[in-house]
Structure 1
Amino acid sequence: MRDFMMRWLIAAFTLLSLAANTASAEPVDFVRDVRPILQKHCYECHAGDARKSGLRLDVRSEAHKGGELYGAAITAGKPEESPLWTFVGDEAADLVMPPEGPALAAAEVATLRRWIAEGAVWPDGVDEVTLEDPSDHWSFRPVVAPTLPSVQQADWPQNGLDHFILAKLEEKGLSPSGPATRTEWLRRVTFDLIGLPPTPQEVAEFHSDQSADAYERVVERLLASPRYGERWAQHWLDVVRYADTHGFEVNTERPNAWPYRDYVIEALNQDLPYDQFIREQLAGDKLNADAATGFLVTASVLLPGQIGQDDASKRLARQDSLDEIVTNVGTTFLGLTIHCARCHNHKFDPISQRDYYQMQAFVSGVEYADREFTIPMGDMQADQLQRWTEQSREVALEIARHAPLAGANKPRPMVNSYENIDHFAPIRTTKVRFQVKATNKYEPCIDELEVFNTEGRNVALAQHGAKATASGSNTTANRHELRFVNDGRYGNERSWMSSEVGGGWVAVEFSQPETIEAVAWGRDRLGKFADRLAVDYAIEALSETGEWVLLADATDRQPFEAGKNARAPIDVESLSSDDQQQVRQRLAERAALEQKLSQLHQSQVVFAGQFRQPDDIRVLSRGNPEMPKEQVAPAVPEVLGDTALAQDAAEDSRRIALADWIASKQNPLTARVMVNRIWQGHFGMGLVETANDFGRNGVAPTHPELLDWLSAQFMESGWSTKQMHRLIVLSAAYRQASDFNEAAAQLDADDRLLWRFPPQRLMGEVIRDSILAINEKINLEMGGPGFSLFDKRGGLSGYQPIESFNEGGLRRMIYSHRVRRERDAVFGAFDCPDFGQSTSRRRESTTSIQALNLFNSRFVIEQAAALADRLQTETSETPAQVSAAYDRVLLREPSPQELSEATAFVDQYGLASFCRVLLNSNEFLFIR
């Protein structure tokens, strides 16, 4: 304080002296008097690229504009209203400048004040620079499809994209490489599209297929494979930071994240148009794609118990969670670092702090939480459902036929909550009624009422035209509704509940008269609930004369006893020995089928967006929730469009508007960003190297016209991702060999101009999957919770890797349980991400750990032994075994020298050791 007072007194004395000589003193000259002060004290932080708080003082227009926090830095004639002076000369100012280093001398303070008071004259032409317009950036301009460039080597291009590649090569005096061999291309495209190696049989078939469309037919086969979605989902999940734990220090398990992963796989397999893919991930709750909204919450988040209980801590945690959503939206779909404007205007891109918070307002009603949803089925699951349902009905009818007829004096099982089968003499009817007379508790509940005709068909199904009616229903939307009683789906979440405690009836009317002989029903055939069970009931059929005829009732069963609720629908012990064996076998088959069916069509919990009334969003000074400024409404960055909503807009309308804007063909970034990601997936690097940053701090495209041509093709194809794959992998550029050309490398060492196909190492997941596929050990079961790579699925540090896997652990690695910050012990060394940050492109390192893992890990040792066992069952001759190993792993015959050396190696060290060598070879690990 003493130093400041001394400075103030000196400044005051100087001002008085200056005032006394005002009449004779000449005006302050900016170049002579002011600029040296700014250079000495201010330019370090406020000139050139150094623009703290967005303030730049070395350019006239920028200096007058001011920074982000206080508006104009200079108000001519008013020093007290000019932060440039108040921060150095006013004791009561918010800030004291400079924050570090020597303070301005009193005479310097006085000079600045006098210059401003005199009108802040900054002469024309002095530090008057025409700055680049940050909005005039290539990625912000509309996508315009260019015409194909002319080329000299006109017979080389296979399709339009080749014209752009060849034109750039010819411009630099380069030529493309010759074509890859058929085996090289097949291996390359198979790994690229499905992430698994081709089989020796597929190689042989491709070599023998000399038709004009042989290459096209390979591509169509691969794109139609369910393995395609698994391969390309891996790329997408890297970008969006998908994991099965919450992250941060506690890193607890996120057990219900996997439905989003399955959604991505299924969407890619279906070739869901990319614009719809975007809409579903932002607003899938309104588009029958609930699991898709898992995209909104893939990032790490603090759980309620990990947040301080004071209001300030809660506000900060909320801001952090919203920031993660904006980050995901910006980097994934737009290739922009919008999140960099959280605390200040973006340093490089024309995105203001206000733009950032307006984007935040679109998602301010999103919470990170588990919520229930019904899993929509894709074509593959629908086929499985139909097949398994038919098998289940056949088994159920066979079991029902072993049940004694109603009224027979034979022991019957007690009423149970799982399943009950009532068998009776065939009767022709159009309607069956289930009358409840008493329950063990509350209102009766039935998950499915099945009525079998004598041909074994469930004629009660709604899909066969049957209609359900009831005395009254206690309806809970999407859980207890009358329509669920005959929808073919089991479980409490798809059941009918009566509105009457202990009573009520439900009936099913068929589309035509049927001869029926059995009814099956249960409270909850998924086995979760045993209350609300009808313990006294009657089953009736409507006769041809319009009267209700009793078919079976509770007197045909033993009385219900709590705690003795048997699962078997009939009393197996009362059957003959031959029938017992057959029924037990059928019951086991039925149980296995029920488990499969329950995984396909039940309500599921997903960790995804949960939606509520949006928060009021304000611009936060320096990103601090304790320093709120003006409130903002949802709006997109001004440089990219004019989509905006009112401050009171409904929560779902916000996300829908955001999705529609991103998915619009007028958005200049959306198609470019996705096309670049697809290109990168095939060539190892995108046309834009910085796949997550298309802003001014990113790398410019190597082939900008090609990027726009591809983007236009993408949109014109109906946003078809598979069509983009076809275009790329059937091009001459993709078909090139990988042979090194020293002369070309002198001009283009990184092969950015694609004078050859760039060799790439397999991703860690692909290496593991391929080893299993070569052994025919891979488990191709799709979907569902992931298998564990560690001895724990979440929590604090101390994860011990699982080294040996059973059948579930031999699934494709995309179905592993992803733990943030914990890479797989073996294949994680191959640059797998830790799922904490968005990984737009995996780097390809070469380390000794990679070789040691592949040679010494228990997994690889076991798989090498399995491969050796398989080869030994096929032939007993060592040379033949060696040749077969080369054929399976490297898809070729060994040379005579290789065969001789490998045979000697096997004789000395064993076939399993030789298989380990092949799996550790560069020829196996690299795509060429």
Structure 2
Amino acid sequence: MSGKYYYLWLIVALFVLYSVNACRSGSDNAEQMPETVSYNFNIRPILSDKCFKCHGPDATHREAGLRLDLPDSAFKALKDNPSAHALVPGNPLQSEVFRRVSTKDTAEQMPPASSNLKKLNPYEVSLIEKWIKQGAKYEKHWAFVPPKSYSIPQVKNTAWPKNQIDNFVLQKLEQNDIEPNPEADKERLLKRVALDLTGLPPSLQMMDGFLADKSPNAYEKIVDQLMASPQYGEKMTLHWLDVARYADSHGYQDDNYRSQWPWRDWVIHAFNENLPYDKFITWQLAGDQIPNATKEQLLATGFNRNHKITEEGGVIDEEYRVSYVTDRTNTFGKAMLGVTLECAHCHDHKYDPFSQKEYYEVFAFFNSVKEVGIESVVGGPETYAKKPLMQISNDDVKKILTFINKQDTDKLIVSIMTDSTKMRPTYILKRGNYDAHGVEVQPGTPASILPFTSDYPKNRLGLAEWLFNKKNPLAARVFVNQVWQEFFGKGIVKSSGDFGMQGDLPSHPELLDWLSVDFRDHGWNIKRLVKRIVMSATYRQSAVATPEKLKNDPDNTLLARGPRGRLPAEFVRDLVLASSGLLNRNIGGPSVNPYQPPGLWENATSGRGQLASYKQVHGPNLYRRGMYTLIKRTVPPASLGIFDASNRDQCEVKRLRTNTPLQALVMLNDPTVLESARVLAAKLLQESSQPKDKIVKAFRLIMCRHPQEKELAILTAYYQDELKSMKKIDAAKLLTVGEYPVPANLDKVRLAAMMKVVDAMYNLEEAITKT
């Protein structure tokens, strides 16, 4: 064969091979084509990504007068061509949408190249074609339809499920020919559930007891024990502090101290007492409007006063008062409805069916608070809370608010909610400007979620009743999803703050609905929901990710393996302190200032108020849990921020998760980590045991499992090497870190060598990772 024909043959062969592969690819997609194409789960995501920019809810950018998000608009004759229709149910060839997305003619192809949107791939075109053939049926957005209780799916592997959650998960795994992982070994499972339920590692006693317990319900006994501990309330509260944008300062330039911590004590108490979710939210939204409201219910309303408040002279009072109301409105939308309501502050929502009028109808519920935009400039204790406020006396703490950790006799005040006797009129604010009043509106809610009828009182208590109406599609779903996120690292709806049109679709919609209905119909019982999740086989799986599973499901969307991820910032600190024995387990009370690099506050402050300079605490308060670290909004705690803690400027229902070199530097250099390593090393050296046994104990305290022989050999050799190479002067310098006293009777070189071994363990990835 001549060279010319050889290359021609090669080109033909490659073309044929490409065509075969393309056909195979097409046939694979065809195999995945759903039997019934759903608008919500198959079509709307395509239209949202490729079409709604020009043919969606945003009237200012709409082309050709065509809206594809509404069936009436999509089915009617086209404005520019009355003889044509965007969609003709049952007939793709007469539907302009199908013709335009499938044509090769670039002059007619949609989306046009000028839009910078990617054109539809063959599978997406086929989905649209099949959807039109099946009638082009529109559906109300899935999240705005009340959840229903699905029947428990039947599965082939009937031995695997522990409860109903597993049937839903396993059904999808079996549909994708994926096997779930076996249950994690007892040591890793205990570490996981202890951290998830208390934010703290298990004690050696708990580890030994669980390993020795061979009874069928050994794991359930541990779960019950952990959920009964007061640390359970602390763990559950941390997420809610992000949601509630809790901080210890007012924000803005002066950023002075605020004494809102009694509200945090209440949240811990509420979770430990298992206050039903409907009451938990109702008290925070409208505790002051409950007939004969108790001081506890009034304190709960501090939720709505956690926003930033200015103390700076020269500001426009009404501008800032409106900003406070705006914050409360946006927080309600994100925290309790899981929607981006704030997008309708200046104009109708561009993607979700929320008008600007409806935004200000929700705004009206929060607009009559007896507050001003600027109450006073920076001063003494009288400014630590802003009116309306509540004083908490020592007598209150003894008799009523017994959960408050008040350790002194000073006057204690907290900001709460109280409305004026006369409702303040609410207007649509043109383009969101505080002084550009449009038409007046009355309290109400988005009709697309659930209309606000005359049956409800037109106040925040009525808003809470509306929220927990059985027909409300979002209240249960949103909270269940947030709780799921706490245990699996992401929600069943990944975009936990956006259940709207642009949010992610649920990975297991039937499971989310079933859990939501079950949660609602069993009295909004939070502990019951939590226990159901952690008792499931889905949760108890090994976190080992095989190459095949990483390839087929890299994000673990199908839940074929257990959850794995780095601990939240505050729990990184807690693990270090708890494993060393330094942790101060005192529940509640004022926030504290632990170690911090010098000069941070002083370089970012107006120089006025109690928080003008950083005053570090001493003694036991140095070793409090991370959630009690004082948060100054303009300069949040550096070591926590590096591990992605919220700065609490606004409501946050999901933290970012990053991996940066700065995190390694914190673990290597933070005084808390180094001091904990020193203290644990000293305790080990004071025990009459061999170095190898001491290292095993330290490993168990930090990693929560026994070391493998190879691991133990490496750590023991490291200790011996440090003993030989460590100089006394270097040892003495190393041991100066931290304020906790160094035992005088210990050999400094041995102590420094063991300290370095413990510090090495703290710096292993596994130490601060839930596996």
2:143 is aligned to: 139
Q: Aligned equivalents of 2:433 and 2:221: distance in 1?
A: 57
Who wins on radius of gyration, i.e. which is larger? 1
What amino acid is aligned across from residue 827 of structure 1 in structure 2? Answer: L
Structure 1 residue 897 and structure 2 residue 710: aligned? yes
Structure 1 residue 349 and structure 2 residue 162: aligned? no
1:885 is aligned to: 698
1:638 is aligned to: 447
Query: Larger helix proportion, structure 1 or 2?
Result: 2
Question: Relative to structure 1, is the Cα distance of residues 851 and 637 closer, same or farther in structure 2, using a 3 angstrom cutoff?
Answer: same
Instruction: Give runs of aligned pairs for residues 474-873 of structure 1, distance below 5 A.
Output: 599=407, 604-612=412-420, 613-644=422-453, 654-789=459-594, 797=604, 805-873=618-686
Query: Cα distance, 1:261 vs. partner?
Result: 1.2
Structure 1 residue 332 and structure 2 residue 137: aligned? no
Q: Identity of counterpart residues, as a percentage?
A: 33
1:927 is aligned to: 770
Structure 1 residue 123 and structure 2 residue 82: aligned? yes
Report if the CA contact (8 A) 1:245-1:794 is conserved. Answer: no
Secondary structure of the structure 1 residue equivalent to 2:216 = coil
Q: Aligned equivalents of 2:320 and 2:80: distance in 1?
A: 47
Structure 1 residues 174-211: Cα deviation after superposition (integer angstroms, max 9, x where no partner): 01001101111111000000000001110110111122
Q: How many residues align?
A: 614
Question: Relative to structure 1, is the Cα distance of residues 728 and 279 closer, same or farther in structure 2, using a 3 angstrom cutoff?
Answer: same
Query: Cα distance, 1:51 vs. partner?
Result: 6.7
Report if the CA contact (8 A) 1:688-1:701 is conserved. Answer: yes
Question: Relative to structure 1, is the Cα distance of residues 695 and 381 closer, same or farther in structure 2, using a 3 angstrom cutoff?
Answer: farther
Structure 1 residues 826-875: Cα deviation after superposition (integer angstroms, max 9, x where no partner): 23311112212332222322211111111112221111111111111113
Question: Relative to structure 1, is the Cα distance of residues 121 and 746 closer, same or farther in structure 2, using a 3 angstrom cutoff?
Answer: closer
After TM superposition, the structure 1 stretch with the greater mean CA deviation from structure 2, 296-305 or 676-685, is 296-305
Q: Aligned equivalents of 1:715 and 1:707: distance in 2?
A: 12
State the TM-score, normalized to the length of structure 1: 0.62
Query: Cα distance, 1:764 vs. partner?
Result: 1.3
What amino acid is aligned across from residue 416 of structure 2 in structure 1? Answer: A
Structure 1 residue 293 and structure 2 residue 301: aligned? yes
Report if the CA contact (8 A) 1:249-1:796 is conserved. Answer: no
Report if the CA contact (8 A) 1:636-1:644 is conserved. Answer: no
Structure 1 residue 915 and structure 2 residue 724: aligned? no
Structure 1 residue 59 and structure 2 residue 62: aligned? no
What amino acid is aligned across from residue 520 of structure 2 in structure 1? Answer: M
Report if the CA contact (8 A) 2:592-2:617 is conserved. Answer: no
Q: Aligned equivalents of 1:133 and 1:619: distance in 2?
A: 35
What amino acid is aligned across from residue 470 of structure 2 in structure 1? Answer: K
Structure 1 residues 431-461: Cα deviation after superposition (integer angstroms, max 9, x where no partner): xxxxxxxxxxxxxxxxxxxxxxxxxxxxxxx
1:277 is aligned to: 280
Q: Aligned equivalents of 2:150 and 2:408: distance in 1?
A: 47
Q: Aligned equivalents of 1:57 and 1:174: distance in 2?
A: 45
Instruction: Give runs of aligned pairs for residues 371-386 of structure 1, distance below 5 A.
Output: 371-373=388-390
Report if the CA contact (8 A) 2:392-2:411 is conserved. Answer: yes
State the TM-score, normalized to the length of structure 2: 0.74
2:251 to 238, 247, 251: 247
Query: Cα distance, 1:219 vs. partner?
Result: 1.0
What amino acid is aligned across from residue 781 of structure 1 in structure 2? Answer: N
Question: Relative to structure 1, is the Cα distance of residues 788 and 912 closer, same or farther in structure 2, using a 3 angstrom cutoff?
Answer: same
Report if the CA contact (8 A) 1:371-1:605 is conserved. Answer: no
Q: Aligned equivalents of 2:346 and 2:261: distance in 1?
A: 33
After TM superposition, the structure 1 stretch with the greater mean CA deviation from structure 2, 829-838 or 724-733, is 829-838
Query: Cα distance, 1:624 vs. partner?
Result: 2.4
Report if the CA contact (8 A) 2:201-2:704 is conserved. Answer: no
What amino acid is aligned across from residue 717 of structure 1 in structure 2? Answer: H
Question: Relative to structure 1, is the Cα distance of residues 692 and 381 closer, same or farther in structure 2, using a 3 angstrom cutoff?
Answer: farther
Report if the CA contact (8 A) 2:253-2:312 is conserved. Answer: no
2:211 is aligned to: 207
Secondary structure of the structure 2 residue equivalent to 1:874 = coil
Structure 1 residue 234 and structure 2 residue 244: aligned? no
Structure 1 residue 322 and structure 2 residue 325: aligned? yes
Question: Relative to structure 1, is the Cα distance of residues 768 and 59 closer, same or farther in structure 2, using a 3 angstrom cutoff?
Answer: same
Structure 1 residues 635-657: Cα deviation after superposition (integer angstroms, max 9, x where no partner): 111112222569xx99xx50110
For structure 2, which runs of at least 5 residues remain unmatched after alignment? Answer: 1-50, 74-78, 90-96, 98-135, 372-385, 606-611, 723-752
Report if the CA contact (8 A) 2:155-2:167 is conserved. Answer: yes
What amino acid is aligned across from residue 615 of structure 1 in structure 2? Answer: R
Report if the CA contact (8 A) 2:391-2:411 is conserved. Answer: yes
Question: Relative to structure 1, is the Cα distance of residues 805 and 306 closer, same or farther in structure 2, using a 3 angstrom cutoff?
Answer: farther
Question: Relative to structure 1, is the Cα distance of residues 383 and 355 closer, same or farther in structure 2, using a 3 angstrom cutoff?
Answer: closer
Query: Larger strand proportion, structure 1 or 2?
Result: 1
Q: Aligned equivalents of 2:173 and 2:340: distance in 1?
A: 32
2:368 is aligned to: 365
The alignment's C-alpha RMSD in Å is: 3.5
2:40 is aligned to: none
Q: Aligned equivalents of 1:323 and 1:384: distance in 2?
A: 30
Q: Aligned equivalents of 1:176 and 1:831: distance in 2?
A: 31
Secondary structure of the structure 1 residue equivalent to 2:417 = strand
Q: Aligned equivalents of 1:170 and 1:380: distance in 2?
A: 55
Q: Aligned equivalents of 2:618 and 2:656: distance in 1?
A: 28
After TM superposition, the structure 1 stretch with the greater mean CA deviation from structure 2, 783-792 or 829-838, is 783-792
Secondary structure of the structure 2 residue equivalent to 1:853 = helix
Q: Aligned equivalents of 2:566 and 2:691: distance in 1?
A: 30
Report if the CA contact (8 A) 1:886-1:893 is conserved. Answer: yes
Structure 1 residues 278-317: Cα deviation after superposition (integer angstroms, max 9, x where no partner): 1100112233211211111222233363513xxxxx3332
